[in-house]
Structure 1
Amino acid sequence: MRILDRYLLRTFGRMFGLTAGAFAGIYLLIEFFERVDDFIEHHGTLSQYLRYFGWKLPVIFVDIAPLAVLLSVFLTLGSFTRHGELTAMRACGLSLARISRPLLLAALLISTAHFLAGDMLVPHGVRVTRHILKHELVGRPMFARRQNMVWFREGDAVVFVKLILPQKGLLKGVTIYQVDKSFHLRQRIDAASARYSPERGWVLRDLVLHRFSPEGEVTQKEKRASMPYPLDKSPGDFQANQLDNRELGFAELLSLSRRLTAEGYDTTRYRVDLHNRLAYSATCFIMACLGIPFALQRGRGSHLALGIAISVGIGMVYFLLQSTMIAFGYAGVLPPWAAAWSGNILTGLLAAWLILTRAR
């Protein structure tokens, strides 16, 4: 590796460490003030504080990495421009592409680390923080769960739910096993769905009811369009146990999406999140490309306050655009790949146009 490349990477690494640390500190401070009332109200222990905010760090890194890369590139090239180093490099015959190459390679490595962190560390971090906040502090009931499937005991019944949509007050693929004191099966209910209303509670839809004799033989089979069932759980209880897609690694999320698709369920949300997992990691590289022309356009006027303002402004516009596209994807207005990648495509085209304009 050439001396120039090492110098560029060392400067970029120092800037990235400072900006990532600053953004993470601000993020943690905001998170602390948002959650401290919950911890105080429910008498949280020091161990819960440390575990909650410690496992928040991987989530924070994944969230702030693109902005940190953008600001780091801006400040790195801005400092070279301000001290005349970039002019000296160009005078020695080095092109903008050659100068930027180490920074783009570093951004590519950060994108890779970003994906790996989101695939390996973030799922566990999200699980731990959710468990501390929803169950250890608030005391919501906890269900046995595998991926997005839930098992729980309800009086003399064991309930299995294949898919939970608590925002809609909807459960899909519900099976209820009613047993006697000896745990012999007396009745089984298979329902396509269960919908909650404040007036009627849970109502099973498109169900088949089987009754069993003491010997375990089916004595009656009955189909019904609907039937109320007294589940002592609210959508809020299911919300606390709902599987956040960030709790799954990429391979697990892909497997879940394929399985639910094969079983006839709508998996639009899962497919959007799959594409978004890749697209958001690629954002680190896209932001590095965008930071190069912005830093060069400011010339000797590049400084910390301006860099922060431009980076935050670009980040707000990007994330507003990306959130809008993702919402369109969830609603089925856009294909999942288009919803997840459109923000990166538009930002990449803008970066390419600015770089080509600057290189003239």
Structure 2
Amino acid sequence: MRIISRYVIRHFLPTFTLALVTFVGLYLIIDFFEKVDNMLEKHVSTLQIALYFLYKTPFIVTQGIPMAVLLGTLISLGILKRNRELIAFETAGVNPASYIMPIVSTALLLSLVHFGVGETLSRAMNQRAQRLWQQEVMQNQASVSYSHENVWYHGNGVIYQIRLYDRSNQTMQKVSLFYTDSQFKLTQRLDAKRFRWDKNRWIAEDGLILRFEGTKTTQEWFQQRELNLRETPRDFERLETIPEELGWLDLYKYSRKIRLEGYNSTPYEVELHMRMAFPLTTFVLALLGITIALRQGMHGGITLSVGIAMIVAFLYLTLLQLGSGMATAGILPPWIGVWAANVIFASLTGYLWMTKN
């Protein structure tokens, strides 16, 4: 690495690190005071409280990286310009790429780190935090990730209507099965108070079977019956899958599969694009920060840089939330809604760079 590149990085990294630590610290403090009363009310131990916020830290770090990169870029280049060091570089015939590319390369690397950490450590730890919150604070109250109501599922030759599916203990409540022939004519109906998964098969409890043979209908009551069904708990879990629980590749396969099966895949497609668009924000905001810093006058200080960063971050998050919300509502295609913020800010960066004196 050339001397100038190392010099710029030595200015950028400390500022970036300080901004990231500040963001994470403020986030944790605010989150702590919002939730500590609920935790103390449920007599959650100090260790469990500490673990909860420790589990959330990787997620908070990934959320703070784009803002920290923007601040680090604005402040570090702003200081170099205010001290006339950038002018000295240009006077000496140094190519601007020599002091721009180190920040661009670092931002691109951080975007990849953001994506990687978000797909592994952050997601896993955040799930632990949510599970701890449910178990210790909500006192094991069922959450959406463990149960699902009013499920309709088209299986192999049978249609399921399930009043409540509980993934945690692999049971169904108030189940109706509709058996059809090759012409989709109803041949049999089974109603049961409860289904449970036991030794690789479904056991129906307290139910009634209705068989339709022409104009004749027969019925049979039962207390317990083993069922020969191809569907397993894994098939029903996917109906209640929360997008955040899946890795990117699994989410891609899952969204494609349910779209082909005729289910609404929009929330999953929005999350899929968000997984890629948000990490790339780090790179886009770094480019924008470089352009803004080089356009500032000699008197642009740290306060001005922080103010600009806050405004840019607010506008970006507003556009991102608006676009993703419109995509989730079906107003915009998922890829347009999610990527709109990055495209707009990248275009703004290009315009500012082209009009720079």
Please state which band the TM-score falls in when normalised by the shorter chain.
Answer: 0.7 to 0.9
AA matched with 1:342: A
C-alpha contact 2:42 2:136 (8 A) present in aligned 1: no
Deviation at 1:162?
A: 7.5
C-alpha contact 2:24 2:60 (8 A) present in aligned 1: yes
Quote the Cα distance in structure 2 between the aligned partners of 1:320 and 1:14. 28
Report the identity percentage.
31
Aligned twin of 2:58: 58
SS of 1:130's partner is: helix
C-alpha contact 1:292 1:355 (8 A) present in aligned 2: no
TM-score between both structures, scaled by the size of structure 1? 0.75
Q: Deviations over 1:69-126 (max 9, x none)?
A: 1000001101111212111111112233332111100000000000001110121122
Deviation at 1:307?
A: 1.5
Quote the Cα distance in structure 2 between the aligned partners of 1:74 and 1:89. 18
Aligned twin of 2:4: 4
Deviation at 1:347?
A: 0.2
SS of 1:301's partner is: coil
Quote the Cα distance in structure 1 between the aligned partners of 2:177 and 2:289. 56
Quote the Cα distance in structure 1 between the aligned partners of 2:152 and 2:90. 62
SS of 2:66's partner is: helix
Residue among 211, 220, 239 paired with 2:210: 220
Q: How does 1:212-291 map to 2 (within 5 A)?
A: 219-221=209-211, 243-291=241-289
Deviation at 1:302?
A: 2.6
TM-score between both structures, scaled by the size of structure 2? 0.76
Q: How does 1:315-330 map to 2 (within 5 A)?
A: 315-330=313-328
AA matched with 2:122: V
C-alpha contact 1:75 1:302 (8 A) present in aligned 2: no
Asked if 1:210 is matched to 2:197, the reply is: no
Aligned twin of 2:333: 335
Deviation at 1:31?
A: 0.8
Quote the Cα distance in structure 2 between the aligned partners of 1:133 and 1:84. 52
Quote the Cα distance in structure 2 between the aligned partners of 1:338 and 1:250. 19
Quote the Cα distance in structure 2 between the aligned partners of 1:211 and 1:60. 47
Asked if 1:301 is matched to 2:294, the reply is: no
SS of 1:121's partner is: helix
C-alpha contact 1:150 1:160 (8 A) present in aligned 2: no
Query: Against the structure 1 CA distance between its residues 174 and 112, is the aligned structure 2 distance closer, same or farther, given a 3 Å change threshold?
Result: farther
Aligned twin of 1:41: 41
C-alpha contact 2:5 2:98 (8 A) present in aligned 1: no
C-alpha contact 2:160 2:176 (8 A) present in aligned 1: no
Aligned twin of 1:31: 31
Residue among 344, 347, 350 paired with 2:345: 347
Deviation at 1:44?
A: 1.3
Quote the Cα distance in structure 1 between the aligned partners of 2:316 and 2:211. 56
Query: Against the structure 1 CA distance between its residues 149 and 82, is the aligned structure 2 distance closer, same or farther, given a 3 Å change threshold?
Result: same
Structure 1: gaps of 5 or more residues: 152-158, 164-171, 178-184, 192-205, 223-241
Aligned twin of 1:16: 16
Structure 2: gaps of 5 or more residues: 154-158, 165-171, 179-185, 193-203, 213-239
Q: Deviations over 1:283-315 (max 9, x none)?
A: 000000110121122232232222111111110
Deviation at 1:275?
A: 0.7
Query: Against the structure 1 CA distance between its residues 60 and 131, is the aligned structure 2 distance closer, same or farther, given a 3 Å change threshold?
Result: same
Aligned twin of 1:75: 75
SS of 2:190's partner is: strand
User: How many aligned residue pairs are there?
Assistant: 299
Does 322-331 or 42-51 show the bigger shift? Answer: 42-51
Deviation at 1:341?
A: 0.6
Deviation at 1:257?
A: 1.1
SS of 2:298's partner is: helix
C-alpha contact 2:108 2:283 (8 A) present in aligned 1: yes
Deviation at 1:176?
A: 6.7
AA matched with 1:291: G
Quote the Cα distance in structure 2 between the aligned partners of 1:127 and 1:343. 28
Aligned twin of 2:228: none
Larger CA Rg, structure 1 vs 2? 2
SS of 2:297's partner is: helix
Deviation at 1:248?
A: 2.0
Query: Against the structure 1 CA distance between its residues 324 and 278, is the aligned structure 2 distance closer, same or farther, given a 3 Å change threshold?
Result: same
